[in-house]
Structure 1
Amino acid sequence: MQWAEHLYLSDITAAKKERIIKKAEQGAGMVSVYFIALASNPDNLFDIFHAAHLKESAFYRQNPYIVGIASGYDEALELVQHMVEDIYRETGGFQVREYFGQTGQEK
């Protein structure tokens, strides 16, 4: 699992960022935590997944690049909306990987 230098966080997850990251790296599940990663499918922009996926070995083979942490699925959707608006404002398009400095890099 890789972490973006600038993570998008909600008010709730910002206060617990370090603890959430530590638990995630230990593979601990967290009840209401959702992670937002660059999409594993090139036709999509992002993947949203529940922290429970951290307990699955197949998850780590994908080596996701985490760009956001939310508390709850609805909050994850709001964070994705905020990200897309920021990316469009800055790039004039939807160059998500470029925005997060992942151009041409394998996940």
Structure 2
Amino acid sequence: MNENLKKKEAKIKKKLSANNLQPSIYVIAFSQSPQNQLDFFSSLLLKQHIYENTPLFVVGLADGYDSALELIRQITEEVFAATQSVDIRHYILQKHNESIKENRRCQ
């Protein structure tokens, strides 16, 4: 999530969950297509019926198209710096699983 949205993170997530319109918000998620790493799109598309029963693994939120591109660039650079590859999905899922394990240990 870019810096501008961190302050509003809870509110934005709540609105997205309630399917409320947020025209400036872009969603960055794992691609549904196996040949792509990430998809990004305006949150307005979540209003379409195709997304009602489609599970999305959201990896980031951005305030506008340009911010979405910048966030994807940052994600890609982070993954490459850490792994010397661009397997974004594997890296993020690994980090996600590590986070879950850490949270379980803290409980």
**Which runs of structure 1 show a deviation greater than 6 angstroms over 4 or more consecutive aligned residues?**
none
Which structure 2 residue ranges, 5 or more long, are not aligned?
95-107
Give identity over the alignment, percent: 31
Does 2:57 match 1:69?
no
Distance 2:7 2:27 in 1: 15
Q: How many residues align?
A: 94
CA shift for structure 1 position 92: 1.1
TM-score by length of 2: 0.82
Distance 1:67 1:34 in 2: 11
Matches within 5 A, 1:1-107: 9-101=1-93
TM-score by length of 1: 0.82
Distance 1:97 1:31 in 2: 26
Structure with max Cα Rg:
2
More strand by share: 1
